[in-house]
Structures are given as structure tokens and as C-alpha cells.
Amino acid sequence: MQVRRIAGALGAEIQGVDLGQLLTPEISTAIRNLLNEHEVLFFRGQTMEPAQQRDLASIFGPLQTHPAYGTVEGIPEVMILESTAENPSKIEVWHSDMTFRQHPPSVTVLRGMVIPNVGGDTLFASMTSAHDALSEGMKSYLEGLSAVHDFAQGFRESLAEPGGRERLADALADNPPVRHPVIQTHPETGKKVLFVNALFTTHIEGIPALESSAVLNFLYQHAALPEHTCRFQWTPDSVVLWDNRSTQHKPVNDFLPAPRCLHRVVSEGDQPY
């Protein structure tokens, strides 16, 4: 297994591993350790079936489904993220996956299926690096605060479409707003991470609305500073694993009218603390 770091804050490209094969306990442990170290791992030339992608994600724990995305037939854990000229992606901001859940995903496994010739990169940011770069005063201020994360906030464009509330009624009912600490401790590394994002976080509890908005906007800008980030250029059969507890990501939707399709599987994480 060869490991090549691609940025100072996070990210490593891994060669010499066939993720489509049944992974030995030693390889599985090595991948988990590399993910804890680099936060996002990039693999190229990985041929696998959806069931194999599901099995790969399962090494990180039980799998979650998503209330709003289509899935591969017969394999509900494999979500289809497709963007076309007729139905372009509505998610264009930095975020962590599914933080509207009480137990957000721990690890996301994303595979490139249909990749445009130009564009469609994904940006990643380390929330460990973002936390560590905060002033000691800001860290002290944020410790102990909790923020609200809401499915309705993240899917507000879909809900505003004709029939959107009816189509997503069950998802709304099953996913009421939840509270997560603004600063969390990663359950495996013990490192502190920043845990708010522009897609799902609505406000910080216990402080005035204007203060909450100002603090969150600062944190969103701070988290996306270039020194906390890396960028991945997709190719067909690329697979990316990232730690959803300690990173954010942002799709770059600069490829339309070309289509783009990805398959995603997520493993369930611990309740943030």
C-alpha cells in the first residue's frame, strides 16, 4: 500500500489496494488508521459493484439510508447522487453529511460513476485544522455551546418546489431538528473538531439571534480557508472515503450541461459529544 499526502491539512491518495475485494482485517484496520490520520482518502481505478461498495462502507459500522435520495434497486444503502441539465444538484455549500440526524454518519464512501470531462471536482476541509486555528478566546467561547441542525434547512429548495412538502412529508416527520455541540471530541482520535455547517445548522442555542448569525458566518468562512482544504478531481471508478465527523466537503457544480452521477454509502456514527 502506497500513501501520498496531497495537502498540508488533510487528504492522501492510496495505491496498491483493491477495494472491490474482500478486505482482510489487517487492511481494514490500516484503512481506518489512515482515515483517522488523513481524514479523507482517495483511490483510483476501483472496479466494484454496488453491493461491494456497501460492504466496504460496512467495515466502519452499521449503514444508514437517506430519506430524500433515490437508491440502487435492491440495495437501499447505496444512494444515487445524480445531477443533469434537467435536474441539477441543489447542494452547493460546504457541509457535513446528514448532520440533521441524532447520529450523523461517521464515514462516507463515494464512488464516481458518470464523470464529466471537465469540472465536477469536490473540495474537502479539515474541521480539526479549522478548530486548531481558532484563537484560544474563540475556542473558550464556543466550548459548551450547542447548535441546532435541521433537515428542513438543508432541503429548503426541494421543499419549496411544487409538491415538495408532500413528497418529503415522511422525511420531515422522521427528522425533527436536533442539537449537536459546536465543538466536539472525535471518538477515535480524541482531537477537537468544529461541528457546524452552512447546509444544516440553523442557529446556536442560548445566545441572541444576531450574535448566532455573526458567529456562524465567521465559522463558515474560517472553516473554508484554503489552508484547511484540499481538492479532488474525479475520474471514473474513483472512490473517496472521508471522515464525516472531522471534515466538510463542497461539490463544484461547474460541469453542466454534462451529467454527473455518484454512488454514496454512509456508515452510522456515534451521537456527537
Catalytic (active-site) positions = 95, 97, 249, 264
CA distance 65 to 85: 26
CA distance 63 to 78: 10
User: What DSSP string describes 58-88?
Assistant: GGGSSEE--SSS-EETTEEEEEEEEE-SSS-
- Written as nine digits, the cell of 213 is 448569525
Q: Measuring CA to CA, how many Å separate 202 from each of 32, 91, 102, 215, 260?
A: 32, 16, 15, 12, 29
- Written as nine digits, the cell of 198 is 452552512
Q: Edge-to-edge, what's the strand order for the sheet holding 201-204?
A: 178-181, 146-149, 201-204
CA distance 98 to 86: 25
CA distance 270 to 272: 6
Instruction: Identify the bridge partners of residue 262 per DSSP, sorted by sequence position.
Output: 81, 112
Question: Is 259 strand, coil or helix?
Answer: coil
Q: Measuring CA to CA, how many Å separate 11 from each of 54, 186, 245?
A: 22, 17, 15
